[in-house]
Amino acid sequence: MSHSKIREGVIVPRAILAEPDWSGVFPPSFDPAVEPANARCREIASEEWRRVVPILEVAAGIGEVDHTTVKDLCVCVARIDQAERDLSERGLLVTAERGTVKNGAATIAAQYRTQLARYIRELGLSPSARTAITAPDVEDDDSNIWD
C-alpha cells in the first residue's frame, strides 16, 4: 500500500516504514520447545506491523524516527499472545517446587499489557487517543515557520 502527498501540484510518493526482520527479535531455534513459540511470535508481530503501520502513516504521519516504537508495540502484541497461550495450556496456577503457584506468564502478560497501553496512547491507536491526534496536513509540508 503506497501513500502519496501533493507538493506543488506533483504527487510525491511517501516511503512506507520498513518492516523489521522479526527473526532478529525472535530468532530461529533448534530447540523443539522454543522454535514453535518463536515462529508464532514472528508471525504475530508481522501481522500487527502490517495492520497498524499503514494506518499510522496516514493518521499520525509516523516515519523512520518512530520505527523502534512501532516495532516494540508489535513485540508486545506477540509476547502477550505467547503468554496467553502458555496460560491456556498450563493454566493460571501451576505446580512448582513449593507447591501450587501463580503461572509467571500471568505477570509477564500484565507487564506487556501495561507497556502496550502506553504505545496505544502514544500512537493514537485507541478511540480516545485518536481524538487527541490530528492528521498531518499533507498539502502544507513545505510551509516555512517564518512565513
Domain ranges of the chain: 24-131
Q: Is residue 90 within 8 Å of 103, Cβ to Cβ?
A: yes
d(CA 138, CA 5): 6
Which residues have a Cβ under 8 Å from the Cβ of 92 and sit 6 or more positions away?
Answer: 102, 103, 106
Short-list 51, 63, 49, 60, CA closest to 16: 63
Determine how β-strand 4-7 pairs with β-strand 10-13: antiparallel
Q: What DSSP designation does 146 have?
A: T
pTM value?
0.78
End-to-end CA distance of the chain: 34
Q: Which residues of 104-121 are buried (b: 16+ CB within 10 A; e: fewer)?
A: ebbebbeebeeebeebbe
d(CA 147, CA 145): 6
d(CA 46, CA 40): 10
Q: What is the pLDDT along the chain (147 residues), one digit of tens a residue?
A: 444 555 565 554 555 789 999 999 999 999 999 999 999 999 999 999 999 999 998 888 888 999 999 999 999 999 999 999 999 999 999 999 999 999 999 999 999 999 999 999 999 888 887 776 565 665 555 556 565
